[in-house]
Amino acid sequence: MYESFYGLTEKPFNLLPDPDYLYMSAGHEDIFTHLEYAVSENKGFVVVTGEVGSGKTTLINYLISKSLSGVELALINNTYIAPNQVIKSICREFEIKTDGLDRDEMLDLFHNFLIEKYSLSKRVILIFDEAQNLSIKTLEEIRMLSNLEAEKNHLIQIILSGQPELRAKLKDHRLKQFVQRITVYCHLSGLSQAEVDHYIKYRLSVAGAKDPKIFNDEAIELIASYSRGIPRIINLICDAALVYGYADNIKKIDRKIVDDVIRERNSSGIFANETGIGEISPPPSEGAVITQGGTAAERIDLLEARIQNLETMLKSVDKRLNSLMNVRDEKDAVVLELFKLLKSSMESRYDTLLNVARIKAKN
């Protein structure tokens, strides 16, 4: 829409995780160093927290995309798991058949799986994304897995990534034993104002801008203040600001344009619940039964079911998009463009799942 006008080869502020656009701030580098250390040293429980859109999943994607040879990896991103379904969910992700087995039998089977991988010098890593949704009882079930250890080594490494609610949840006295098992904990904060400046210019440069100073200092200052340094919000504002600038034939984005974007953003109500994007499914009850599959065919069926669920969500977004199609001028089209970004945000949650699939294909 605006790429050629600003001398860009592609849109620089898409929401989909792209390793080419990964900006390693001081905070991101610190978190990634901790993750690399934890993985290389097999440090058991690792907890990463951060605000919605701060880049936690992007970092985990980056970690997964690096050469993790000799690793059996599984990802659970549907974290509304009833306690009595935890071990079954884990076995499913590691493609272990559990048909007809009770909880204790599944634990024994999983323990044997871990011992087998240990004997082959293969490490086992389990990642829970959106871990703030895990209940206290479910977290306790996960803690019990840490009892499955060799004499001097952890048989499994568990990484929990979640929003700040996870940090608050871990303060519950019922999780005292769980917290004692956490060997590495780190929190990802928003970017500083200087880092927001670098972040915007970096993404513009990657997108082909010969002059990355498309946003002036006052505009960047306002973006940093409003976004609190959260990359996802920065992307939303910057993309919309470029649409505004293009509509008004303005080559340099100033504070007024950014202020217009923020005012439109606040008045439209489109992103009123942005921190809950994708979190629309209620948690199951404690006794809920979750259908699991063990074979490759069953896992494909499960993945297709997840995709169908996402498609249902996207259809509702499409309906709202269609209602915005009859715009009067290019400036009105900004609302439409922002809503498309919401759709992109929902699609991005599958990127991590695809990376895990690639790792599994290599093993």
The pLDDT value given to residue 71:
84
pLDDT band at 290 (very low <50, low <70, confident <90, very high): very low
pLDDT at 118 over 70: yes
Rounded to an integer, the average pLDDT of 291-301 is 45
What average pLDDT score do residues 220-226 get? 96
* The pLDDT of residue 280 is above 70: no
Segment 292-305 mean pLDDT: 47
Average pLDDT of the segment spanning 240-256: 95
Residue 140 has pLDDT above 70, yes or no: yes
Higher-confidence residue of 100 and 281: namely 100
pTM tops 0.95, yes or no: no
Q: Give residue 318's pLDDT band: very low, low, confident or very high (50, 70, 90).
A: low
Q: What is the pLDDT of residue 363?
A: 60
Q: Which residue has the higher pLDDT, 216 or 52?
A: 216
pLDDT at 175 over 70: yes
Question: What is the pLDDT confidence band of residue 172, given thresholds at 50, 70 and 90?
Answer: very high
- Integer angstrom CA distances of residue 325 from 121, 321, 335: 57, 7, 10
Domains and CATH numbers, the chain: 26-190+350-362 (3.40.50.300)
For residues 81-92, one letter each, b for 16 or more C-beta atoms within 10 angstroms of the residue's C-beta and e for the rest, the string is bbbbbbbbbbbb
pLDDT band at 79 (very low <50, low <70, confident <90, very high): confident
pLDDT score recorded for residue 348: 53
From the list 24, 35, 114, the residue with the least C-alpha distance to 68 is 35
Question: Per-residue pLDDT tens for 42-76?
Answer: 787 899 999 888 888 888 878 877 756 778 888 89
Checking if the pLDDT of 296 tops 60, the result is: no
Higher pLDDT, 149 or 8: 8
In this predicted structure, the answer to whether residue 357 has a pLDDT above a threshold of 70 is no
